[in-house]
Amino acid sequence: MKSAPIAPDIRLRPDGITPCGPAFLSRLIEGKAFRGNAAEVLAVNAREFGDLVEIRIPGRRLLQCNHPELVQEMLVRDAPHHHRNIVMQRSKLVLGDGLLTSEEPLHMRQRRLAQPAFHRHRIAAYGEVIAQFTQAMTAGWQHGSIRNAHEDMLLLALRIVGKTLFNLDVENEVRQISAAVDSFMGFLPLAFLPFPELILSMPVPAMARIRRSRDSLDAFIYGVIRERRAHPGDRGDLLSMLLAAVDEEEHSGSMTDRQVRDECLTVLLAGHETTASGLTFALWLLATHPEVQDQLAAECHRVLGGRAPAAEDYAQLKFAEQVFAEAMRLYPPVWVTARTAAEDYEYRGYRVRKGTVLLAPQYVIHRDARFYPDPMRFDPSRFDEEAKAARPRLAYFPFGAGNRQCIGEGLAWMEGVLALATIAQQWRLAPAEGMPPQPPLAAEVTLRPKAPMLLRVERR
């Protein structure tokens, strides 16, 4: 049963028009402006100033939306007023014009062309791949050994995306791609800075490494594209679908090699980093909540009976799905969604100026006690059907919302649920000695662990 709507708490400055928010100068003098990670800064803003926060910094204004109703207005209703945030705009230097960075009308055309690659029946074909690679990973675990969960999950997610995107299952090649991707990711935080083109071209080792990584990935991706163009056919991977896609709605043809490259790079970067972080935090939460871990193992035993999971088991692994959902509530890999106002427009009596950055922080809303009582408690039952129905839809949006909602969401859910089920039915997890009760977080391009996530693994 849906509860009565909770209206946004909007507080105004003395002018009666402008939303409240922190004063940059006083925070700078007090030393608070750069204290703590960015996600926690946004959480403090919400606690102190309510659901609509205006943040003034030299040369820019930001509008932080901390309520599902405001998020719906920002990401869905007012989407025509916005374009991508400054980080995504500048990331075109390395990502090109893929789904993460492109603007309309190119974005909508690319989404139409890419959509068949992510249809449900196509994703279902990858269930066996997910279970197979997860079992291969855990085959190298030793009873009683200590594993760095984040390192394991990054390699697992990259192996899965390598297979589902390129039909590539040679681990040595995957590790080479992993090294290039990790270096490549190092550029994205620099997109916050002015003149990123100049930064990328600087003759310093870090930038030279990123340029080499870009060239290495380009050589690999374009090489695969050339081979596929010369020998066309469906090889059961996403790349086959991208190459075969034709825009019949607007009769604009198929993707160019550059467009295919941009989408492949987007899937590589976004498709492994976020899922790996979600799985890492899910394993950590299971390790620190043995009763939940036992409940998940019992479901896996009942549904799977000791065999590897397949795509058709997904619908029966309800508790595994709830565990993964609750992990992404507490630790959303995409911890904030940002847009930039492309024009002036009126918003709730407030004039949003062109260039204003609008923020919808998953990290804040997912931890809001109004929608999640005792929000820091790990409780997968928050995601049973009754509990979900009682909340506003955008009280939970780990994959975004609107016309830019993540196109790979279905694959991410399949990967998270089947990987967790594969691990939970065979292994018992516990934090390694000396690990802190709460994982330290790095809120950068994605939310990820700031330190190794060390877990002791024991066979069941």
Q: What share of the chain is helix, strand, coil (3-state, %, to 5)?
A: 55, 15, 35
* C-beta atoms surrounding 239 within 10 Å: 23
Closest C-alpha among 230, 229, 267, 234 to residue 125: 234
What single string gives the DSSP state of each residue in 425-458? TTEEEEEPTT--SS--EEESSSEEESS--EEEEE
Measured CA distances, 131 to 174, 205, 212 (Å): 18, 39, 33
Measured CA distances, 415 to 72, 125, 133, 294 (Å): 27, 12, 11, 21
| Three-state SS at 241 | helix
The set of residues, in sequence order, having a beta carbon less than 8 Å from that of 362 and lying 6+ positions away, is 332, 334, 335, 336, 337, 397, 398
The Cα–Cα gap between 334 and 103 comes to 20
Residue with tokens 């075969």, as numbered in its chain: 244
The Cα–Cα gap between 69 and 298 comes to 38
* C-beta atoms surrounding 78 within 10 Å: 17
The Cα–Cα gap between 148 and 452 comes to 6
The Cα–Cα gap between 423 and 300 comes to 10
300 is in an annotated binding site: no
Residue 402 sits at the vertex; the CA angle it makes with 401 and 408, to the nearest 5 degrees, is: 60
Query: Binding site: what residues are annotated?
Result: 406
Which residues are part of a known binding site for heme? 406
